[in-house]
Amino acid sequence: MDVINDMQTIPLKTAIAVGCTAVAIVFALYFWFLKSYGSDDSGQRNYLPPVPEVPGLPLLGNLLQLKEKKPYMTFTKWAEMYGPIYSIRTGATSMVVVSSSDIAKEVLVTKFPSISTRKLSNALKVLTADKTMVAMSDYNDYHKTVKRHILTAILGPNAQKKHRVHRDTMMDNVSNELHTFFKNYPDQEVNLRKIFQSELFGLAMKQTMGKDLESIYVKDLETTMKRDEIFQVLVVDPMMGAIEVDWRDFFPYLKWVPNKSFENKIHQMYTRREAVMKALIQEHKKRIASGENLNSYIDYLVSEAQTLTDKEVLMTLWEPIIESSDTTMVTTEWAMYELAKNPKIQDRLYAEIKSVCGSDKITEENLCQLSYLSAVFQETLRRHCPVPIIPLRYVHENTDLGGYHVPAGTEVAINIYGCNMEKKVWENPEEWNPERFLNQNESMDLYKTMAFGGGKRMCAGSLQAMLISCIGIGRLVQEFEWRLKDEAEEDVSTLGLTTQKLHPLLAVIKPRK
Ligand code: HEM
């Protein structure tokens, strides 16, 4: 009663004032809502909320929480807390991180027209000669031209048929080296990477430059480089350089501040690579002058790609060398590590190969009958995806993803590792279990794990990677038993741009009878 009486005593003026304030607040909230969700820069209306944010610090954003150079594990942990799509801030830049296959497909396919460009780190700008590569260019005419060249002369199905002889030689060499190793050191563990990587580099050089040279004189550096040094300069250094962090990437408004140690390091990698590539191109000219045509990528480019500048030719030739030499080795090494750790799965794979190939060597023609081998390959790509985060995409016009508004100027990171660890898609995702790829009538489906990306920018080398890795795993298991030493510990740490095993696989091998 008292309350009612008190209310009745509120003067009219006060009541009107309170009423007006309430109306003002409602209007303010309405306008704030419209501003936040209501319209994009093009004036188009949409009522989508912004992407959920991972809390960070003023100015620095989430920088201090990102300790690794390729933070796919942290991104995956955050996905469990903040959902399959969230946004982070690295200094002045905002980035949306996607860790779900469905939203990843939106980025790669349906919303591709709004997300088809790339914003490169300072290291990548230098190392890719400002996007002069198929994989790092924007989706434009240059991209389409060089992609056509690489597919026609190296990576497409017809070109892969032409280069078959190099793959067969490579596998024979790997096999011979392993047999020799066993003969000389029957009780010691073999380092598969050392043998496989070197042979893979040889294959990359033959496909691209026509020859796998033991050494070359590099005029610009006034030195003769042995094959190991060539590999270091063309593959190892740029792989490490690609993930070098320049703090100015996060604070572009400070780009005028010098960062000499970073600049010198990356510039040195660039000039050494350029010098070696120039020497290789020079060597090719001598070969052509002597009337020798080896039907390789350089032979094709010289006659068919006359619109490219010298710098573009150099980068176009270097690209398949670095791309062929790493990811396929990474996949094969992880597969052999898992097979050595899981003898029952290895036995089942051996039994399949024996039933299909008998006592003949496994060949590429057998692959369509080897569904368990395909499952081993797929599961390795899922559990140890060689490219855990797709090279960053850049949103160049307002769009939406996963039901959220994403403004122009945002970077998008697709965390493939996180997509392949999604609990609602994969049962016990931490477990390496090839069985999950059987009985799905899609054993040769290269795209289920999204390890090769998707849409218009999907990996151009997936066929080559599959052929080399599957035949590699198949022959290694057909010819040897692989075991880890009993004391070997679970080891899933990685190194470099891709997911190269931090510690190379060391396994005890025994030739099968
Ligand atoms: C298991 C091995 C491999 C994996 C997991 C892999 C993965 C990928 C991924 C994730 C992309 C990026 C797709 C995107 O941006 O959406 C890509 C692009 C590309 N990859 Fe691979 N890759 C592998 C092997 C190779 C090989 C052996 C080559 C060539 C020798 C190659 C050549 C390329 C090229 C040229 C692109 C750029 C395609 C484009 O932008 O249109 N890849 N790869």
**Residue 92 pLDDT > 80:** yes
User: Does any ligand 1 atom lie closer than 6 A to the CB of residue 429?
Assistant: no
Q: 324 to each of 18, 170, 451, how far by Cα in Å?
A: 72, 13, 16
* Poorest-pLDDT segment among 104-108, 121-125, 349-353, 496-500: 496-500
CA of 109 from ligand 1 middle (Å) equals: 16
CA of 256 from ligand 1 middle (Å) equals: 34
Q: 284 to each of 42, 95, 229, 290, 302, how far by Cα in Å?
A: 52, 44, 19, 10, 10
CA of 185 from ligand 1 middle (Å) equals: 37
Tokens of 345: 């799965």
Euclidean distance between CA atoms 52 and 404, whole angstroms? 9
* Poorest-pLDDT segment among 9-23, 154-168, 215-229, 403-417: 9-23
Q: Which amino acid is at 139?
A: Y
> Angle at Cα 231 formed by Cα 143 and Cα 224, nearest 5°?
115
CA of 509 from ligand 1 middle (Å) equals: 31
Half-sphere exposure of 143 (CA within 13 A, CB side): 15
Tokens of 311: 């710098």
Tokens of 220: 């610009």
User: Does any ligand 1 atom lie closer than 6 A to the CB of residue 390?
Assistant: yes
CA of 64 from ligand 1 middle (Å) equals: 30
Of the two residues 289 and 297, the one the predictor is more confident about is 297
CA of 381 from ligand 1 middle (Å) equals: 13
CA of 390 from ligand 1 middle (Å) equals: 9
User: Does any ligand 1 atom lie closer than 6 A to the CB of residue 459?
Assistant: yes
Ligand 1 pocket, mutate which of 459, 464, 471 (most atoms under 8 A from CB): 459
**Residue 42 pLDDT > 50:** no
User: Does any ligand 1 atom lie closer than 6 A to the CB of residue 324?
Assistant: yes
> CB–CB of 230/90 below 8 Å?
no
User: Does any ligand 1 atom lie closer than 6 A to the CB of residue 453?
Assistant: yes
User: Does any ligand 1 atom lie closer than 6 A to the CB of residue 496?
Assistant: no
**Residue 50 pLDDT > 60:** yes
Sequence-distant contacts of 357-364: CB under 8 A, at least 24 apart: 357/478, 361/475, 361/478, 362/471, 362/474, 362/475, 362/478, 363/471, 364/164, 364/167, 364/467, 364/471
What is the residue-averaged pLDDT of the chain? 88
Q: Which amino acid is at 354?
A: K
**Residue 30 pLDDT > 60:** no
Mean predicted confidence (pLDDT) in 199-220? 96
Nearest residue CA, atom 19 of ligand 1? 459
**Phi, psi of 362, rounded to the nearest 5 degrees:** -65, 135
**Residue 8 pLDDT > 50:** no
Half-sphere exposure of 145 (CA within 13 A, CB side): 14
User: Does any ligand 1 atom lie closer than 6 A to the CB of residue 412?
Assistant: no
Euclidean distance between CA atoms 320 and 3, whole angstroms? 82
User: Nearest Cα to 85, choosing from 72, 70, 73, 102?
Assistant: 102
Euclidean distance between CA atoms 204 and 378, whole angstroms? 23
CA of 442 from ligand 1 middle (Å) equals: 21
**Residue 492 pLDDT > 80:** no
> CB–CB of 100/419 below 8 Å?
yes
pLDDT at position 196 is 96
CA of 452 from ligand 1 middle (Å) equals: 6
Euclidean distance between CA atoms 395 and 411, whole angstroms? 6
What is the atom index within ligand 1 of the atom nearest the CA of 468? 27
Predicted structure pTM score: 0.89
435-452 per-position pLDDT tens digit: 999 866 554 455 678 999
Sign of CA dihedral 112, 114, 120, 125: positive
- DSSP letter at 94 equals E
Instruction: Provide the ipTM.
Output: 0.99
User: Does any ligand 1 atom lie closer than 6 A to the CB of residue 388?
Assistant: no
In sequence order, the 6+-apart residues with CB closer than 8 A to the CB of 436 are 375, 379, 426, 427
- DSSP letter at 461 equals T
What is the atom index within ligand 1 of the atom nearest the CA of 455? 16
User: Does any ligand 1 atom lie closer than 6 A to the CB of residue 134?
Assistant: yes
User: Does any ligand 1 atom lie closer than 6 A to the CB of residue 200?
Assistant: no
Element (H, E) at 472: helix 462-479
230-271 per-position pLDDT tens digit: 999 999 999 999 888 899 999 988 889 999 999 999 999 999
User: Nearest Cα to 45, choosing from 57, 56, 33?
Assistant: 33
Nearest residue CA, atom 6 of ligand 1? 452
pLDDT at position 19 is 44
CA of 443 from ligand 1 middle (Å) equals: 20
**Residue 44 pLDDT > 60:** no
Residues 414, 415, 420, 422, Cα dihedral to 10°:
-100
pLDDT at position 291 is 81
Instruction: Return the percentage of the chain with pLDDT > 70, whole number.
Output: 88
Nearest residue CA, atom 18 of ligand 1? 459
Between strands 411-415 and 93-98, the pairing is parallel
- For 108, other C-beta atoms within 10 Å of its C-beta total 22
Model confidence band, residue 500 (pLDDT cutoffs 50, 70, 90):
confident
> Angle at Cα 200 formed by Cα 300 and Cα 339, nearest 5°?
140
In sequence order, the 6+-apart residues with CB closer than 8 A to the CB of 138 are 116, 117, 118, 131
User: Does any ligand 1 atom lie closer than 6 A to the CB of residue 464?
Assistant: yes
Tokens of 288: 């052509």
Euclidean distance between CA atoms 42 and 40, whole angstroms? 5
CA of 13 from ligand 1 middle (Å) equals: 72
